[in-house]
Chain A
Amino acid sequence: MAEDQRRTIWTRRRFLTAAGATAGAAILAACGGSKATETPKPSSTGAPAATTAPAATTAGSAAATSAPAATTAGSAAAGTSAPASSGGITLPTGDAKNPLKVKEDAPLDVVIFKGGYGDEYAINAEKIYAAAFPKAKVGHQGIQRLAEQLQPRFVGGNPPDIIDNSGAGNLDTAALVAEGQLADLADLMSAPSFDTPGKTFNDSLLPNSQVNGLFDGKQFVLNYVLSVYGVWYSDTLMKKNGWEYPKTWDTMLALCEKIKATGVAPWAYQGKYPQYMTNIMNQMIYKAGGTQAIIKIDNLESNAWRQPEVKSAVEALYQLADKGYLLPGTEGLTHTESQAEWLKGKAVFIPCGSWLENEEKGLVPDNFNMVVKPTPSLSASDKVPFEGIQSSAGEGFIVPAKGKNVAGGKEYLRILFSKQGARFFSENTKSLTVVQNSADGLKLGSAFESVQAANTAAGSNTFVAQYGTWYKKLQDEAKDKMGALLTKQIKPADFIDKVQKMADDVAKDDSIKKFKR
């Protein structure tokens, strides 16, 4: 759900985006007083960064950027297959050369969501593809609002060969799956990796990183960017006050009381997008009840929302509202507005994913030292230790089943998800990918170090929730009712009743395709 979580959030922002980017920006700037941080940033991105990526190269115009992957990838030269290197690009040989049987002269049609991550990384992968298949003509489009532009192509039966289906207004993946529009990526998963000799494609990725691309056990989506979700704070602020991040919910509440006494709000959240808090709820449910508790919800099992773990998580979050620990007015703020308040020190904790630092680039005060921590444990009987965290992949790539060059689309993914492709991405965007060891030795910033630390500490205690991707209606209802809960419009019991009712409605509606995990 991680990816969808963000997707939904960005969808909400689509008009802010349009407005902010065009008319809004100038007028708001003219508004004087309003600080730059309050402007809804044009992050129409499925990706964090709101700033326009510097990717100036479009439509295959071959700018001579150097592929920095040469050394790393080259170091994999051991063994039987000696990689043929040309111009910083390392091409595989032997079994790994063309395992998917790509037609060498078939054109490849690539459509990339050009958001916070830009599309330079995709163009880089296209160059590698062109080097591997010199006879193929590679077409590139870096666009936004994919659904509007690609829906007609799907309906008309001539979709592109590979799509980065992300950002505001992307295509509904569950609908595409239900209509049989996506190619099963099983053969790609078991194919040899592009530049990690001796490993299959699947083994070269982080374990379990592709679970949220599974629909009824079939791999239809491959997610590229690794995000960690949790509770963020300024380490400097906490240390200055002698506060320590609490490991249990009771100590969290006790700390909140202390924080409140100093005149600062303990928590802020992205009020207009309460899904940031449903995310926190998911994490607490997971930690209290283990993956099983989440799977029950994903599978629409009867009374899944009445599990005791759900009840405790919802009640715990309600305490934040009931005890007055939320920043006054935060329920009316957008993500950027609330995050701006948080950066100004008006609140200590805020929920978010690891794109946060990138999203706030240029706005973070010096010495802020933002770090992420897992949600506090609900009780001593939690099934997952405190270190357990939501760490999941986003920026989903799909290969349309009715594309003209399906094998080429998969081969493109094999290249993009190679060590050299991923390293280029990490250097270019300061974000981690799901490709193992691809960012080794890179320095990616202070928040990032905490993300890596959290990820390492969690080990295998990570999870994804799928109900948001599978059943957007359920996600919406949970989000709406979370907003109502945190403004004390409803009580925890009402929250559970309402969301359970929607889960039942979705389960009963035969027009909605059901998935199981």
Chain B
Amino acid sequence: MYRHKYRFIVPFLTPAIILYGVFVLWPYSQSFYIALTQWRGVSAHKKFVGLSNFDKLLHDRFFWNALKHNGLLLIALPIVTICIALLFAALFTQGGRGVPGANAYRVIFFFPQVMSAVAISVLWQFVYHPNLGLLNGLLRTTGAGNLARTWLGDPRTALWAVAAVIIWQAVGFYMVLFIAGVQSIPTTFYEAAIIDGATRWSAFWRITLPLLWDNLQTALVFIGIGALDLFIFVQIMTNGGPDRSSDVVARYMYDTAFDKSEFGYATAIGVALLFLTLTLSIFTLRVTRRERIEF
């Protein structure tokens, strides 16, 4: 039986591999060539220009501007999202109990995750509406009217207003990821700790967090990759504006290709983004590598 394992596996895998090859790997490999051409996307004519697209990229102030925003989000999003998600996960599950009403909270906090990113972005535009929006309305009725502003129309707040929405929708997913991790920790650990006089807080630091390391690592890579994309949220809520203050590389790439018809250059941006993402993932996995604790 064992000897015929591959005879059994191969027919099942082949269709998937072919599809993946044709629709993912092949276009990917093509894009490496397209990135070396000047192609406007409206004819078969591609002029080979070598690495000049990448040279242009290095001197493109709009690209660096967008990349800077990705960088800022790359720092802010994982920290804030993971902290909140961890807090929720611990509150709702740690030691097998969790706070009263934990189940209801779990559902509520997960809810944004089941909505499409497009719908979320459109909804939040209304929350941020300067005159009729929920947020400014809330601020004004609670006497904090001087904090009310044009959230998406002000270059100082636009990026962070978008970031807040991303965090709002992402927290639920990571909360569930961490809850799964916390639940797999045997309750006996906590019982033993309590007998030894540990508080909830020290149980979290000494037991939950170390045993959640694998999940944390996964979360970091996911959020990191996510922070290099964010196309949908930015495109819908601000379209990178005002005055490119909330632009991200993915949106800039889209704009370069589909609005400016510079497909060759846009593909070069895409290739650069691919390597950035790969580097970041490998880097994250390396630095967070720890010895596995078996339990």
Contacts and interface: CB of A to CB of B under 8 A. Distances in A.
Interface string B118-143: 11011101101111100000000000
Contacts of A271: 150, 153, 242
Given A15-B236, A175-B41, A271-B153, A329 B122 contact: no
Interface stretch (B14-22, B173-181, B221-229, B257-265): B257-265
A328 B122 CA distance: 21
Query: How big is chain B's contact interface, by range?
Result: 35 or more
A147 interface: yes
Residue picked from B116, B121, B232, B241, most chain A C-beta under 10 Å: B241
B68 interface: no
B292 interface: no
Contact of A332 (B121, B153, B239, B259): B153
B40 A179 contact: yes
A329 B236 contact: no
A498 to B, nearest CB: 9
Interface in A10-37: 11-12, 15-16, 18-20, 22-24, 27-28, 31, 33-35
A332 B130 contact: yes
B126 A329 contact: no
A329 B119 contact: no
Nearest to B157: A332
A38 interface: yes
A35 B70 CA distance: 35
B128 A332 contact: yes
Contacts of A151: 41-42
A34 B42 contact: no
Contacts of A12: 239
Contacts of B115: 23
A333 B44 CA distance: 40
Contacts of A341: 131
Given A331-B153, A332-B152, A18 B118 contact: yes
Contact of B122 (A24, A33, A487): A24
A155 interface: yes
Contacts of A40: 122, 125
B191 interface: no
Interface residues of A, number: 56
Contacts of A256: none
Residue picked from A15, A33, A147, A473, most chain B C-beta under 10 Å: A15
A38 B129 contact: yes
Task: Summarize B's interface: helix, strand, loop or mixed.
Answer: loop
A31 B131 contact: no
B119 A333 contact: no
A27 B150 contact: no
Contact of B155 (A171, A330, A489): A489
Contacts of B155: 484, 487, 489
B45 interface: yes
A497 B130 CA distance: 30
Interface string B243-277: 11000000000000011111001000000000000
Contacts of A328: 130-131
A20 B42 CA distance: 29
Interface in A468-487: 472-473, 480-481, 483-484, 487
Given A23-B116, A480-B243, A480-B244, A333 B123 contact: no
Given A23-B116, A329-B131, A28 B154 contact: no
B94 interface: no
Contacts of A175: 40-42, 261
Contacts of A78: none
Contacts of A22: 118
17 contacts: A19-B236, A20-B122, A22-B118, A27-B122, A33-B132, A40-B122, A151-B41, A171-B42, A172-B259, A175-B42, A179-B42, A181-B42, A272-B238, A329-B150, A332-B129, A332-B150, A472-B259
Given A40-B125, A181-B42, 5 more contacts: A11-B259, A15-B235, A484-B155, A487-B242, A511-B262
Interface of B: 38, 40-45, 115-116, 118-119, 121-123, 125-126, 128-132, 150-155, 232, 235-236, 238-239, 241-244, 258-262, 265
Interface of A: 8, 11-12, 15-16, 18-20, 22-24, 27-28, 31, 33-35, 38, 40, 147, 151, 154-157, 169, 171-172, 174-176, 178-181, 271-272, 274, 328-334, 337, 341, 472-473, 480-481, 483-484, 487, 489, 511
Ranked 5 nearest A-B pairs via Cβ: A332-B153, A329-B130, A332-B150, A172-B261, A23-B119
